[in-house]
Amino acid sequence: MSALISTRISELDAVKGDRSNGPDKIDEDAEDDVDPAQETTMDQARHVSLGADQRPRTIADIEEENSSDPRFRSFQTRLARFFNTFLPAHNILFPDGQPIKFRPTDLVSFIFSC
């Protein structure tokens, strides 16, 4: 796991470029010289979190594993309700034009980050 995290940190460093001059040496006019194609990459680099990918689990497994936690009761229904409220509120169309319905066998992937 540490090798994976180390690799991702190295990739982030490569995207951000050499910062060996330190924050005090940043050229204030440098932003004017940024290539628009590169700017997108830099913007993406600002939204980074370190974490570990977890194996996908079914909705039924998540509800069962967390049966003593009231926050996970009716997880399937509450997750669907969240997406069916969130997507239209942000002008995002439903897949196939239909509200989202989850089955107990649908897989969920978590990424825990710090």
Of residues 58 and 27, more confidence is placed in: 58
What are the extents of the domains in the chain? 2-48, 57-113
Q: What is the structure's pLDDT at 6?
A: 73
Residues 63, 75 contacting (CB under 8 angstroms): yes
**pLDDT grade, residue 88 (50/70/90)?**
very high
Q: What is the pLDDT of residues 34-85, one digit of tens each?
A: 555 554 544 555 555 556 667 889 999 999 999 999 998 899 999 999 999 9
The set of residues, in sequence order, having a beta carbon less than 8 Å from that of 56 and lying 6+ positions away, is 107, 108, 109
**Residue-averaged pLDDT of the chain:** 75
Q: CA torsion angle for 65, 63, 51, 55 (degrees, to 10)?
A: 80
CB atoms within 10 A of CB 32: 7
Q: What is the structure's pLDDT at 8?
A: 72
